[in-house]
Structure formats: structure tokens, C-alpha cells
């Protein structure tokens, strides 16, 4: 029996279901950067490079920023959380055609801060995550994207199919493993080791470890001030970059309830944050979204929440204004990237699943 698409609950892992085999395909421009995930000390430079290139290849932002997010797997977690996909319907977000498309949700310009206040209250009341020494954080997500592919001078809009992404991180962020079809070999790649200079990576907002997350202020004003200071000069303006940074801290981690609530309250203070009445994540779960439009690219980043429990389900980026990509092939309604959180859990070793 398929669960209610609007209901998020804890369940056995097998209920998430399997995924079809993924065909090998050429990586979109910029995705090879993904393989440098272990080089966390270079993320700040990569962000600046991404900002300059986003207008030409909108997917590049995710191609570069997602590596930073994986380092978050060292955050605290407890037990096994499985967010199950819902319903028999096949939402447009999960289309297998040349591009992923969706109906653009209606914006409430004043609803963002109010919704984030309710979400932060729900987050603060969640059970505090916990784990044993020596364990790893296992994060399982589902992702898909649309990008411009150029072959022999001819460009077309294509989509990478929905696939599962698995990452493991030690709490100190120094050991880890990643398996993602199309981006790693079947056995995966290591996320550990030193950077290109042979140094131990220094954690920061773009690549935080558990210890770094634990050191972040939980006062919303102080937290937002730190985000503005540490990301100065990055992205398409300080407010858009602050929203992006908070989203990256939420997508593939399981921070403490107190820090999670502070992140939501900090986001509520960013100008331009709105509520979107309806959004669907990569697993087909419908919810309500908190979002912000990047005026430079015309893309809106949406954080999707269960409309009843306010559980964070995932994130997606939608072209909503103008045409993006090379040759303007990315039209409004195109889902440039979609990412759904399925499982977060402590496990005893790399490659061990709940």
C-alpha cells in the first residue's frame, strides 16, 4: 500500500522502494567538479567561480555546491529516519523526457517569515539526535537535474534521471565515502584525506564538520551575521548567497533541533524570502515551500516542507523568470535541480546502511 503523499513518518528502510537502473550518460558541463568533493578547502574559490558562470550553466551552482553539503554528514543524528515517497501519481517533476518541468507555484510575498516561524517552532520541538562514538552519519537522498548538453556544436536540453545518492561521514569530517550513479564508480569514491596542499581541511560554512556545526551560534541574528561575513563576495548578492548557504546547511545534514530552528529564524530575516503554496520534491512528495528568487539567473530555490508536520523534505531549483542556460534553452517551469532527503541515520562503518 502506498503511503499518503502528504504524510511524513518513520518507517522501515525498504519502504522507500527501489529505483530503476541508471543508464550511463555524459556528465553535464561542470559535473566533473563534483569528484573533487574531498577537497573541501577549495570550496570557497569554487563558489566564486560558480557565481560567475551560473548565467551560462544554471546547473553548475549545484554541481559545485553539493560537494560542500556532503561534508555535513558529520552532523548529529539518531536512529533511522525514512521519509517515504507518496502516492501512485507520477508528478511532472519526475518526468523522463528531455527536461524536468513543473507548474510554478503561487507566491505569497509576506508568508515566508510567518511560515518559517512555524517551521522553526516545530524544529525546536524535535527529539535531539544522538549517536555513539566511532559511528558514521549515513545520508540517502534522491536527486535529478536538467541541463544544457552540447555535442558537436549542437545544444539541447536534457535531464539526468532520478537516482539515489549515498554518503557516509565521520563526525570530525575527515573520513567519508560517496556513491552516486553517474558521478562515481559503482563502488564510490572516498571523501577523506588531505587537500591538494597536503593539509587537513579546515571546516567552514561551505564544508562544515560536526564540531564546526556545534560551534555555530544559535542566536538567529548572530548566526545570520556570521553567514553574511563568511560568504561576503560570493554568489549573486549577499542575500541570495545567505539563503543558498542556509539551504546547503539543511539539505544533507541532521543538525541539532536548536541549530535547525536558528537557521530557519535566520532565513526569515533575509529580504526577499517568500512562501510558495505548492511544491513537489524529487520523491514525489507534495508540500509547501519557503523560497527566494535569484534575480540574476531567474531561478527560484525552494525549500520544501511537509504541510502538516513542517518536516524538511528537500530542495529544488526552478526557472521562473526569463530563459536560462546556453541559448536560453531553460524555459520557465524547468526544474533545474531537485533533491529529496530519504534516510538519515548513524551507522557503524562506511558502506553500512540502516
Residue ranges of the chain with per-residue pLDDT less than 70: 1-98, 129
pLDDT at 97: 54
Q: Tell me the C-alpha to C-alpha distance, in Å, between residue 163 and each of 8, 31, 170.
A: 20, 15, 24
Domain map of the chain by residue range?
26-347
What are the start-end ranges of the E strands in the chain?
80-82, 107-108, 136-151, 154-169, 176-179, 189-190, 274-280, 286-294, 299-305, 312-319, 335-347
pLDDT at 203: 84
pTM equals: 0.74
pLDDT at 142: 94
With a CB cutoff of 8 Å and minimum separation 6, the contacts of 37 are: 66, 67, 70, 71, 178, 189, 191
pLDDT at 37: 39
pLDDT at 199: 82
**At 294, is the secondary structure helix, strand, or coil?**
strand
pLDDT at 327: 85
Amino acid at each position: 500500500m502506498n503511503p499518503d503523499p502528504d504524510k511524513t513518518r518513520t518507517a522501515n528502510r525498504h519502504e522507500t522502494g527501489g529505483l530503476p537502473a541508471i543508464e550511463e550518460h555524459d556528465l553535464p558541463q561542470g559535473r566533473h567538479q563534483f569528484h573533487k568533493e574531498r577537497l573541501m578547502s577549495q570550496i570557497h574559490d569554487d563558489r566564486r567561480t560558480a557565481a560567475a558562470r551560473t548565467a551560462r550553466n544554471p546547473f553548475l551552482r549545484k554541481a559545485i555546491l553539493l560537494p560542500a553539503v556532503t561534508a555535513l554528514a558529520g552532523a548529529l543524528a539518531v536512529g533511522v529516519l525514512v521519509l517515504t515517497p507518496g502516492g501512485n501519481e507520477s508528478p511532472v517533476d519526475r518526468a523522463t523526457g528531455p527536461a524536468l518541468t513543473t507548474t510554478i507555484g503561487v507566491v505569497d510575498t509576506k508568508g515566508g517569515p510567518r511560515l518559517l516561524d512555524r517551521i522553526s517552532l516545530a524544529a525546536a520541538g524535535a527529539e535531539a539526535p544522538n549517536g555513539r562514538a566511532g559511528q558514521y552519519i549515513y545520508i540517502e537522498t534522491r536527486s535529478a537535474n536538467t541541463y544544457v548538453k552540447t555535442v558537436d556544436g549542437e545544444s539541447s536540453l536534457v535531464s539526468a534521471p532520478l537516482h539515489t545518492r549515498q554518503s557516509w561521514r565521520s563526525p570530525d569530517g575527515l573520513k567519508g565515502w560517496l556513491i552516486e550513479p553517474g558521478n562515481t564508480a559503482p563502488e564510490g569514491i572516498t571523501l577523506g584525506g588531505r587537500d591538494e596542499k597536503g593539509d587537513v581541511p579546515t571546516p567552514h560554512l561551505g564544508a562544515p564538520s560536526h564540531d564546526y556545526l556545534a560551534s555555530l551560534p544559535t542566536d538567529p541574528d548572530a548566526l545570520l551575521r556570521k553567514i553574511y561575513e563568511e560568504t561576503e563576495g560570493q554568489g549573486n548578492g549577499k542575500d541570495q548567497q545567505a539563503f543558498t548557504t542556509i539551504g546547503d546547511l539543511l539539505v544533507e545534514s541532521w543538525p541539532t533541533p536548536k541549530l535547525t530552528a536558528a537557521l530557519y529564524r535566520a532565513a526569515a530575516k533575509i529580504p526577499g524570502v517568500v512562501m510558495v503554496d505548492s511544491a513537489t520534491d524529487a520523491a514525489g512528495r507534495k508540500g509547501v515551500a519557503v523560497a527566494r528568487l535569484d534575480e540574476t539567473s531567474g531561478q527560484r530555490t525552494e525549500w520544501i516542507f511537509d504541510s502538516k508536520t513542517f518536516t524538511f523534505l528537500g530542495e529544488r531549483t526552478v526557472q521562473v523568470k526569463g530563459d536560462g542556460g546556453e541559448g536560453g534553452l531553460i524555459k520557465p517551469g524547468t526544474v533545474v535541480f531537485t533533491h529529496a532527503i530519504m534516510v538519515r541515520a548513524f551507522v557503524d562503518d562506511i558502506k553500512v546502511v540502516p
